[in-house]
Amino acid sequence: MADIRIVIRPLGDHPTIHFAAEELARYLGRMLGEGVPVVVQAAAQYEPAAQGNPAPEDLWLGIGTAIPQVRVPAVDDPALDDCIALDVRAGRGYIVGPNPRSVLLGVYRFLAEVGCRWVRPGADGEFIPRRGVEGLSARVCERASYRHRGICIEGAVSAENVAEIIDWAPKVGFNAYFTQFREAYTFFERWYTHRNNPTLQPEPFGVERAREYVVRAVQEIKRRDLIYHAVGHGWTCEPLGISGLSWESREYDLPEDVKQYLAEVNGVRAIWQGVPLNTNLCYSNPEVRRLIVQNIADHAQEHADIDVLHFWLADGANNQCECEACRKRIPSDFYVQMLNELDEMLAQRGLKTRIVFLIYVDLLWPPEVERLQHAERFILMFAPITRTYSKDFSVQNAEVSLPPYQRNQLQFPSNVDENVAFLRGWQRLFNGDSFDFDYHLMWDHYQDPGQMATARLLSRDIALLRAIGLNGFMSCQVQRAFFPSGLPMVVLGRTLWDAQLPFEEIAADYFRSAYGVDGARCQGYLAQLSELFDPPYLRGEEPQVSEQAAERFARIPEVVRAFQPLIERNLAAASDACRAASWRYLQLHADLCIRFAGVLEARARGEKERSLDRWQELVGMVQRQEMALQPVFDVFEFIETIGRKIS
């Protein structure tokens, strides 16, 4: 018998194609075992049957045009839009795409087609089956449903957490990563100082270390050719020499020559509630606009690795300048004016950086006079932060009229129809690129401990993005949103790639992969928990004192206890590290659910003191278990989010 081996041939010299080859070799090596060597041999160009090579073909990786006979589906923009064409038979064939990132996505897709699964980040999230060479066959020719498929840093994170999620993201189809603010300082600082967990020893944490971690994250992003998004808030304080590292409030004593630039609210020009990130400026002042625009252009020039730079005004709402000159226009008009000024400055400097502008709180109201001059420079980002997650993006009433703009007296809709009506208002003025910036996995998922309702809503919302005129989704979320399962994240990645994929199909596959033969029972159990915890209750959309709700919460402990023997059996029997970890997390989750149900039951019975006491016990439990939970669960953000609701 001739020696069987697999020869992976990356074409060209792009580092991501070589990385894709190394990844493919690594996973195939694990699938095939030691009997079948897998080697990587770079090639300058495609050779259909290399001379002296007994194999008719090797396994080629490259940009579509590098292999003449392969047809890659057409895309609008080959640098930004992803598609995959792969045809591999018994380990031989090709995997191509229009850009290096698509080639990497194609490698992971091929591995998924032959049985690999990545159910959460990290080594214990990989389910890698054994296969023979004959089992390594797949054909796929697909274009991604949406251009923008990203994850934005939030919550508390270690440098390792960030590296792991960037590594994981393209394995399920994501193509972009966003390190928020200049240094992402606050997210790292929360972890290393162990906020919300006095049982762990805090480390001193400075901004220099955050900068170093962002540099490392960018290396990982670039290694995979992911689209790199940066900054967001901060442009309203950094140009004045005031740093915007976090939302912490403190006192400021600023000189007059700085104060004159701040928004005047209630007759005072000051840092808004002690938080520079939340402080708007006096945008009618041309000097203010010049300072901001120049600062952004300088940043774009100094950071050539930023593909998409976000220019947002201050965070917070109803904090706009009330001076006479600013009152003449609504904030969106000044915003669009600055966006045009920025576009001009970037063009003068020959910079192609794309700029995201944000449709959010006060800026939901579309501009009355100004219009963007060069749509191709910009990406509209719709961030419906006040929406409810009890309802999907299907629009019931498209004719909702916008309320009038009333400076610093605005109320923001939770209703999805009204949010989409604001988006429509902007879309009438701007028909360029766009995406949704949304928060399903930022706070709201903590109100759904089974996370099946969250996963289902994500599936529906993503399928509906096209209908509301958006070309993708950037998920503003805790990075560790994989507890009890990674289903919501897998639904997010896979549905953004293929908006037609039915939720039930993804879920069934996920549970089988992550939990083995009892996967379907896990799915049923978590679905039951989602129902019993009734997320609209904690969203405050139902009466908080309610006999009916109390009875429902009271049933949770028995449901959990009835399931625990199955967890124990699977833990005792698990031979695969990935599935063992999945069951171990379910075991920790069972304890959390019993305690959480107790908190809510007392609340629904109107026993506030008892509810608070039980909450403190639950807080103690997650703090004690934090090191076991931390790869999948953001204890900081859980305590922060539910603590606000309970107290």
Label residue 220 exposed, middle or buried (CB < 10 Å: 0-12, 13-18, 19+): middle
CB-nearer residue toward Zn ion: 323 or 612: 323
Distance from C-alpha of 574 to C-alpha of 597, rounded to nearest angstrom: 29
Shortest distance (Å) from residue 329 CB to Zn ion: 10
Work out how close the CB of 63 gets to Zn ion at its nearest, in angstroms, rounded to a whole number: 51
- Angle made by CA atoms 399, 404, 409, in degrees to the nearest 5: 130
User: Min. distance of Cβ 282 from Zn ion in angstroms?
Assistant: 3
Strand, helix or coil at 85? Answer: strand
Nearer to Zn ion, 409 or 575 (CB): 409
Smallest separation, CB 542 to Zn ion (Å): 42
Nearer to Zn ion, 275 or 282 (CB): 282
CB of 547 to Zn ion, least distance (A): 53
Complex with Zn ion: residue 147 or 329, whichever CB lies closer: 329
Please, which residue, 164 or 264, has the CB nearer to Zn ion?
Answer: 264
Q: Please state, as a whole number, how many other Cβ atoms lie within 10 Å of the Cβ of residue 437.
A: 26
Cβ-based nearer residue to Zn ion, 89 or 328: 328
Closest contact distance (angstroms) between CB of 320 and Zn ion is: 8
Residue pair 456/533 in contact (Cβ under 8 Å)? The answer is no
Nearer to Zn ion, 213 or 334 (CB): 334
Three-state secondary structure readout of 108-121: HHHHHHCCCEECCC
Closest CB to Zn ion among 260 and 295? Answer: 260
Smallest gap from residue 335 Cβ to Zn ion (A): 14
Q: Is 17 left (phi over 0), alpha (psi -120 to 50) or beta?
A: alpha
Q: What is the DSSP string of 505-562?
A: HHHHHHHHHHHGGGHHHHHHHHHHHHHHH-HHHHTT-S-SS-HHHHHHHHHHHHHHHH
Residue 358 has φ and ψ, to the nearest 5°, of -115, 125
Answer yes or no: are the C-beta atoms of 570 and 514 closer than 8 Å. Answer: no
Contacts with Zn ion, residue ranges (CB under 5 A): 282, 284, 321, 323, 326
Q: 3-class SS at 140?
A: strand
Shortest Å, Cβ 366 to Zn ion: 20
Q: Nearer Cβ to Zn ion, position 326 or 346?
A: 326
User: DSSP 3-state assignment of 93?
Assistant: strand
**Minimum distance from CB of 232 to Zn ion (Å)?**
23
The number of angstroms, rounded, from the C-alpha of 539 to the middle of its chain's C-alpha atoms is 22
In whole angstroms, give the CA distance from residue 563 to residue 556: 11
- Do 111 and 140 contact (CB within 8 A), yes or no? no
